[in-house]
Amino acid sequence: MNTFWAVHIPRFVIVYFILANLVAIILFPGGNHLDSTQVGYDFTRNFFSELGFYKTFSDDINFLSAFFFNSAMFLFVAQGFGFLFMPFFFKENKKAYIFAWLGAICIFLSTIFYAMVGLTPGDLYFNAHVFAVFTAFRLTLPGVLFLMLAFYFSKASNIYTIGAFLLLASVVAYIVFMGDMPQIDPVNDRENFVRFVSMDVLMLNVILQKLIVIAMLVSMFMFTFGFQKLKQLS
């Protein structure tokens, strides 16, 4: 049961997220925060969450793309629930077990807010959407920190501790950088958004978002192998 929830479910959610986003990207009509004439999705000019918009910046209804993206975001709750079974792999060491529980709780709470990203499309509920994004990452931060400490005190290979540390550093850097991005509603306050956000700033933020998401997906997938290894060692 522990292996099913803490290993197989997270892997399924991550694979589904990748496939669903690929489909959503193919179906995305077009437009970005600064260019409504753009055709299709641009990996360097469109945030992931634009795939979940009700209507794109090209003024097209985005039902199919939003369906796949938002369904992938909702599934993160299943991954968070699966991580609640993760501490049982760390029972051999009391410190590791405690840190694993703290990490599991933080990660579970973060996935609720990742799901809220899908429930609050940025073109309809900008403030709620931004709040969900910021809160999800801020809860991910202590979750990864505690998971790193759990791996450190466990019998697992140091590669998992190092992986968690690198992810932790990436999340910290991204949270700090997110604070520098002007939080201006690009739909309802477009005039100010265009005035204060250049294409270079937009592209930098989009690319950094892609990098942190890829880092998180790879790391979480890697951690499931650490859980399996701990089960073999117990």
Domain boundaries, the chain: 2-233
The answer to whether 89 touches 77, Cβ cutoff 8 Å, is no
pLDDT recorded at residue 16:
98
Give the Cβ contact number of residue 148 at 10 Å. 20
Determine if the pTM surpasses 0.75.
Answer: yes
How much is the pLDDT for 106? 98
Residue written as token pair 């292996």: 3
Backbone angles phi, psi at 39, to 5 degrees: -100, 125
228: left (phi > 0), else alpha (psi -120 to 50), else beta?
alpha
At residue 19, the 3 state secondary structure works out as helix
Across the chain, where does the E strand assignment appear?
A: none
CA 156/CA 18 separation, integer angstroms = 27
Residues, the chain, total? 234
Instruction: Provide the 3-class DSSP secondary structure of residue 39.
Output: strand
Distance CA 202, CA 198 (A): 6
Token output for 161? 């501790």
The runs of H, that is alpha helices, within 179-198 are 190-196
Q: In one letter, which amino acid is 21?
A: N
How far is 71 from 69, CA to CA, in rounded Å? 6
pLDDT tens series, the chain, 234 aa: 899 999 999 999 999 999 999 999 999 999 999 999 999 999 999 999 999 999 999 999 999 999 999 999 999 999 999 999 999 999 999 999 999 999 999 999 999 999 999 999 999 999 999 999 999 999 999 999 999 999 999 999 999 999 999 999 999 999 988 877 788 999 999 999 999 999 999 999 999 999 999 999 999 999 999 999 999 987
Q: Measuring CA to CA, which residue among 214, 143, 204 is closest to residue 172?
A: 143
